[in-house]
Amino acid sequence: MKEISIDESKRIQVDILKLIHEYCCNNGLKYTLAYGSMLGAVRHKGFIPWDDDIDIAMLRSDYEKLMSGFEHDYIKIYDYRKDEEYCYGFAKVIDTRTVLEENTTMANFGIGIDVFPIDDLYDDEQSCKDFIKSIIPLKRKYRYKLLKPSPKNVWWKRIAIRLAGLTVLPYSLKDLVVKINDAVKSNGKENSKYVGVLTGTAVTEKCIMPRKWFEEYCSLDFESNKFMCIKDFDEFLTFEYGDYMQLPPEGKRMSPHTLNRIYWK
């Protein structure tokens, strides 16, 4: 069992993204670097130095085409609808030769990148906000069911996570993720003015975004490669992070993820 360093993990993720990029280009699909990966491309031309993952997002129609069409010998798309032990509402494209241990109640999978579907909402912001409020209770139950205490957590947080877990004992993680995604896909208006990334582990009103942001695309440099990004990346990043070119204080430069070990099978 050979350990994988964070730098090697990042190289593996870039290689996965190159495969997705090639598939999307060959099949007329669009994706965008998203969240920290978009910020990293704009501010650092690669990973944010203290971050360790890649996120992309796709409008639902292209997302489903990627889900059904992409094939590779050892790079696999994990989707809650076809993989019994996988219970995230969004897909991960994973190098199945690797294992990445996370502090969740799910089975351990490998190194991969997150692929978020962008779903229809409504033509007015209030209807979007009302829908998001309606699924927050399900999202809260899901997070309580997903998380498990980590030795890296302070003692009171470990206790809080255990107590929260007791409140959702009657539920299964799979049932919750299915309910959330069914609600997302059965609501909204086709070609709505507003869309949102609604299948992540948390959802807030910050998920509401204009569809027009996802109509035009460009290329951005990321780790010596060029990948797709929405042309309106400045609006997206300002909405998400405010003055995004300003570096955070040194004490806040840390990965949002709590990983245990990463290794080759």
Domain ranges of the chain: 6-264
Q: Say what angle helices 125-146 and 155-166 make with each other, to 10 degrees.
A: 100
Question: In one letter, which amino acid is 129?
Answer: K
| Distinct helix (H) and strand (E) counts, the chain | 7, 11
First-last CA distance in the chain: 6
pLDDT at 259: 63
pLDDT at 1: 85
Ordered per-residue pLDDT tens for the chain, 265 residues: 899 999 999 999 999 999 999 999 999 999 999 999 999 999 999 999 999 999 999 999 999 999 999 999 999 999 999 999 999 999 999 999 999 998 889 999 999 999 999 999 999 999 999 999 999 999 999 999 998 887 777 888 888 888 888 899 999 999 999 999 999 999 999 999 999 999 998 889 999 999 999 999 999 999 999 999 999 999 999 999 999 999 988 877 777 665 679 999 9
pTM of the model: 0.95
For residue 46, give the nearest of 214, 216, 223, 187 by alpha carbon.
223
Within the chain, where are the H helices? 6-27, 35-44, 60-69, 125-146, 155-166, 173-186, 233-241
Decide the pairing of beta strands 208-210 and 32-33.
unpaired
Question: In one letter, which amino acid is 4?
Answer: I
Q: Does residue 7 sit in helix, strand or coil?
A: helix
> 70 Cβ partners below 8 Å, 6+ apart?
20, 23, 77, 93
